[in-house]
Amino acid sequence: MVASNEGGEAAYVKTTDSPTPLDPALAAERLKEVKRIFDDQSVVFWLGSGTCLGCIRENSFISWDDEIDTASVIGMHGLREETIYRIADVFTKAGFYSRIRSNPLYMSVAFVKDGMRTDWTCHRIVNGGAIEFPGVKLPLCLFAEPMEVEFIGQKFLVPNPPEAYLKLKYGPEWRTPKGSGFEADVVMQVGDGDNLSRGRKLQRSLSMGIFPRPNSSVRIFDRDG
């Protein structure tokens, strides 16, 4: 099983409660180490979220980003749930603190070393797609044959085509740097029904149509769903 210790958990909590921008040199060193471990274990992964955005848009880490983002899909490229736990053990033996949380949409894995966190989002296939935080539905075709790109002096995979992925994740203006203001664009990409049960969809339809009400409901998701 994945080792756990108070020091490692404290380091993880610090990266979430008091995040600081990545040091580009250390981030490059860490991502190369993560890639080496994944490659040694024959894990197919790609750069996701802000790391993919920085790679494609700026060919560098985004200056205000505070973690490294990688991703895979459970059920694609040979990845199984039990494999994820085994890989986490490998990272633990390599000096990382490994943390796994699971929800119906994905398994959220964090690897922390030297105060820097690498997130590995292992998406579950849900209704023929993958749901990415905070609830953006992505077609599986983006991940079937990831595209190889040059980044920090090595070859990495990204969703294919990356432009389609970034538009779905960050909106049509993804090429325009917005600093911390990007959150609004991400939230606007969440489909109306992506995270609603059949009953909630019916309730929404009634409240917006036959029985309009002056109130609404809001669902807020953390990284564990």
6-208 CATH fold: Beta Polymerase; domain 2 (3.30.460)
Domain ranges across the chain: 6-208
Residues 6+ apart with CB under 8 A from 220: none
Alpha helices in the chain (DSSP H): 6-17, 24-40, 49-58, 81-93, 141-144, 162-170, 183-188, 198-208
Task: Give the angle subtended at the CA of 83 by the CAs of 79 and 88, to the nearest 5°.
Answer: 120
206 SS3 class: helix
Instruction: Give the tens place of pLDDT for each residue, 64-80.
Output: 999 999 999 999 999 99
pTM: 0.80
Q: Sign of the C-alpha dihedral, residues 151, 173, 137, 224? A: positive
Dmax over CA atoms of the chain, in Å, equals: 59
For the stretch 26-58, pLDDT in tens is 999 999 999 999 999 999 999 999 999 999 999
